[in-house]
Chains A and B, each alone.
Chain A
Amino acid sequence: MTSAPVTGGDGFAPLPPVSALELDRRHFRRRQTTKSLFVSLGSTVLFATVIAIVLANSPGWQIARDTFFNPDYFWSSFPKVWHGLLLNLRVLVVSVIGVAIVATLLASIRSLRGAVFFPLRFLAAAYTDLFRGTPFLIVLYLIGFGVPALGFNDRPIDAAVLGTIALVLSYSAYVAEVLRAGIEAVHPSQRLAARSLGLSHYRSLTLIVLPQALRKVTPALMNDFVSMQKDVGLISVLGAVDAIRAAQNLTALSYNYTPYVVAGLMFVALSWPFIRLTDWISARQQRREQMGGAV
């Protein structure tokens, strides 16, 4: 039993044209996809309709709508709340940079080996334990009202600056633990291979271990980032006029809560691209690791 020798342009015979059977199979699969698409669309519409009917028939719907979804207040509060959101954004950018630096330092310290570094390791561990256990609101109060009370400064320190410090302190503890999990998930043989090339502990960490660790914990880091995006709104309790504080000020004038809805929508709009990006990155990672194409 011998099949004919195979020759052609690239050394191989050209592929046969797609058979009618395969075209038929593709057609069937497309129909199945369309069908399930319609089923999911239909169920979504049905669900939304039920919710709308329940809301519209609730006894207080008229009052609730005018208090929370008033279009006049919506547009008139928009500029002030937007102006506040810009402060949130500035705080966010500075905090993210601060967290990246502090958390990487903490995680690196916690992965140091050798008895000499015990005090450092202990301090880093104590720090993460303390700040992960303390509610963020309490950290905010302690920094926001405690630091000015120490009286080092003649002039009052900007509430946004104090809020940023509190954010960095609190979130660094979380992010450091995520990074440490990533560092520990890199196989020890990678570190051994790096050290075998003559790289120092520091260089094998920065050139070999950390890049791989980051890749492993990207989804978890993005999750922390999204969480941080909305927690920047909490600096309003220190009196910084951010989006939430701006909304609060407007509400105090009118007793209409629409500005809060405006602020809420802005925070959602702010986080949405990153949430999608996180999903996309996890999906890509999964695609890369998946071996079975069809299951």
Chain B
Amino acid sequence: MPEHLLDIRGVVKKFDANPVLRGIDLSVDAHEVVVLIGASGSGKSTLLRTINLLERVDDGQIFVDGQDVTDPRVKGDAVRANIGVVFQHYNLFPHLSVLSNVTLALRKVHGVAKDTANERGLALLDRIGLAAKANDYPDRLSGGQQQRVAIARAIATNPVLLLLDEITSALDPQLVGEVLDLVTELKEQGSTILMATHEIGFARKVADRVVFLKGGVIVEQGPPAQILENPVEPETQEFLSRVMR
């Protein structure tokens, strides 16, 4: 039985004949924040999507909380119900109010009574400073506010693991801060987070471990100080010199 909260072993993913992940081994412990960096197409997003079974792996195993989620006998919906995901483009449901977006999974997946769910949802919205917008529809909110609501929606069910997929890439620069502050807050409260990001500065500040991917393989991983300041591999050095310029 693996003791890590998330244990990825030899995961291969191909789109048609193109390998996107070429045998990934990675583990994340409870309360750890692991940041994936790498160029577009390096496999960061695909890796996140295989974990909550939005993509089926072509080989290897993924253990979440000790359960092999790649076993075909495992119910995907049950796995996904325990993992929170935030997407680059928020993907809030435009026909539902902000509060309904946040409480939807509580009510319809976890069977929480409406009153209890609303109470929880309002408390969450209060925490992210958007309680006043509870009954507004998502299109009335700024990008940063929408992304904060998306994070609230993802954590409303107390998932064991949070997957954040380039959550600030679609935001105006002045809105990035408010979203990253919320992630920092989640880390302080002990959430387990695996995130893909282009925000190297944020990775340095918040990550327990930084993982550099290239061409579907992990080139190098370690504490942010080591990977971001003194990378060993020339490929990591090259990538960092480009994004830090």
User: What is the interface of chain A, defined by CB distance below 8 A to chain B?
Assistant: 1-3, 5-6, 11-13, 15-16, 18-19, 21-22, 25, 28-29, 32, 291-295
Contacts and interface: CB of A to CB of B under 8 A. Distances in A.
Contacts of A292: 49, 54-55
Contacts of B215: 6, 11-12
Contacts of B221: 1-3
Given A25-B72, A295-B53, A16 B217 contact: no
Contacts of B73: 28
Contact of A293 (B54, B220, B222, B232): B54
Given A12-B22, A25-B71, A293 B55 contact: yes
A25 B56 CA distance: 11
Contacts of A25: 70-72
Given A12-B22, A13-B22, 8 more contacts: A1-B222, A2-B222, A19-B59, A19-B60, A22-B60, A32-B72, A293-B55, A295-B76
B129 interface: no
Contacts of A5: 219, 233
Nearest to A25: B72
A10 to B, nearest CB: 9
B159 interface: no
B177 interface: no
A97 to B, nearest CB: 39
Contacts of B54: 291-295
B217 A12 contact: yes
Interface string B189-219: 0000000000000000000000000011111
Given A19-B59, A21-B61, A292-B49, A6 B72 contact: no
**Binding site secondary structure of chain A:** loop
Contacts of B60: 19, 22
A25 to B, nearest CB: 5
Interface of B: 10, 12, 19, 22-23, 25, 49, 53-56, 58-61, 70-73, 76, 215-222, 232-233
B244 to A, nearest CB: 20
Contact of B233 (A2, A13, A21, A29): A2
Given A11-B215, A19-B60, A292-B54, A29 B72 contact: yes
B233 A16 contact: no
Given A25-B71, A295-B76, A13 B232 contact: no
Contacts of B59: 16, 18-19, 21-22
A20 to B, nearest CB: 10
A5 B22 CA distance: 14
Contacts of A28: 72-73
Contacts of A22: 58-60
Contacts of A21: 59, 61
Given A22-B58, A295-B76, A12 B216 contact: yes
Contacts of A6: 215, 217, 219
12 contacts: A2-B222, A3-B218, A5-B219, A6-B217, A12-B22, A12-B216, A16-B10, A25-B71, A293-B54, A294-B54, A294-B55, A295-B54
Contacts of A11: 215
